[in-house]
Amino acid sequence: MDYLIQQVINGLTLGSIYGLIAIGYTMVFGIIGMVNFAHGDVFMLSAFVALIIFLALSQLFGTINLALALLLVLVAGMALTALWAWTIERVAYRPLRGSFRLAPMISAIGMSIFLSNFVQWAQGPNNKPLEMVPTEIITIALGAGSITLSWKQITIMVTTAVLLMALWYLVQKTPLGRAQRACEQDRKMASILGVDVDRTISLTFVIGAALAAVAGLLWMVNYSQVNFADGYVPGVKAFTAAVLGGIGSLQGAVLGGILIGLIETLWSAYFSLAYKDVAALLILIVVLVFMPSGLFGRPDVEKV
């Protein structure tokens, strides 16, 4: 029993990170119907940004309060990553918006390759470690065994829950959210009614990237290492999570992420680790066969 609970905690932690990245995929798809393949690499970039800012801070001020340092890294990292995403949207996607459907997608694939190669060139191909992370664990006795829960894991799960709620409020209750939902339904009509479509889309990219930056920092805290290729696997998993949850739906993305994390971890726990990805993708296929638009997705309505 303690083993099962331990693995569920592991799965929830991993799933939370997938979920945070998946929100970026799902928001962009929801609003302009495009899969932003560069999003995984934006996430990787943000982990590097977090690492660099953290190292710079500790160089400048020596050993500072860890919580304060992390908060500073978080704010600065979100801002810088958001700036990157804004630039990418402005340079690589907006000029192609009126073009045929595949053009921005190809552009996104190109951007993904550009970002990982840029980081490889600028930061070197080696793994970059981060030495600072607290490793204190809480051990909870349970029956015959015990469960270990680290502060890192708690931070990750709580952060994801808080951010999801904040984002839900943003989309449902604020003017920006209203504009986003309007653009999602009908971009032309929204612009006729006075919504600044370009600005709304830019802000969507910025929000997605800011969340990826949170995921990047949490990644650095949890795994203490990153290299230029690390955007790929989490990117693919997060995209899978977005599709599983119903692409376009916020809560769907996070739920999808958590489901993928749980399936992977529980499969690893009781069967061979080698086939965990097969298990996760098999569940995806089964879900899509019975619910083609994912768990929370709304079916496409043909507009006449």
Binding footprint of other proteins on the chain (CB under 8 A): 3, 6-7, 10-11, 13-14, 120, 124-127, 129, 131, 135, 137, 139, 148, 150, 152, 219, 223-225, 227, 229-230, 232-234, 264-265, 268-269, 272-274, 276-277
Q: How far is the CB of 11 from other proteins (least distance, A)?
A: 7
Judged by beta carbon, residue 179 or residue 214, the one nearer other proteins is: 214
Return the DSSP state at 246.
-
**What's at 229, amino acid-wise?**
A
Judged by beta carbon, residue 202 or residue 225, the one nearer other proteins is: 225
- Helical spans, DSSP H, in 33-101: 39-61, 66-88
Q: How far is the CB of 183 from other proteins (least distance, A)?
A: 35
Q: How far is the CB of 101 from other proteins (least distance, A)?
A: 31
Q: How far apart are CA 141 and CA 144, in angstroms?
A: 8
Q: How far is the CB of 291 from other proteins (least distance, A)?
A: 27
DSSP string covering 27-39, please?
Answer: HHHHHH----TTH
Judged by beta carbon, residue 7 or residue 159, the one nearer other proteins is: 7
Q: How far apart are CA 12 and CA 28, in angstroms?
A: 24
Q: How far is the CB of 129 from other proteins (least distance, A)?
A: 5
Q: How far is the CB of 148 from other proteins (least distance, A)?
A: 6
Burial of 249 per CB tally in 10 Å (0-12, 13-18, 19+): buried
Judged by beta carbon, residue 30 or residue 234, the one nearer other proteins is: 234
Judged by beta carbon, residue 246 or residue 261, the one nearer other proteins is: 261
Q: How far is the CB of 250 from other proteins (least distance, A)?
A: 24
CB proximity list for 127: less than 8 A, separation 6 or greater: 225, 226, 227
Judged by beta carbon, residue 1 or residue 165, the one nearer other proteins is: 1
Q: How many CB atoms lie within 10 A of CB 260?
A: 29
Q: Using an 8 Å Cβ cutoff, are 224 and 36 in contact?
A: no
Judged by beta carbon, residue 86 or residue 151, the one nearer other proteins is: 151
Q: Using an 8 Å Cβ cutoff, are 170 and 177 in contact?
A: yes
Which residue is associated with the tokens 């943003």? Answer: 170
CB neighbour burial string for 4-14, b if at least 16 within 10 angstroms, e if fewer: eebbbbbbbbb
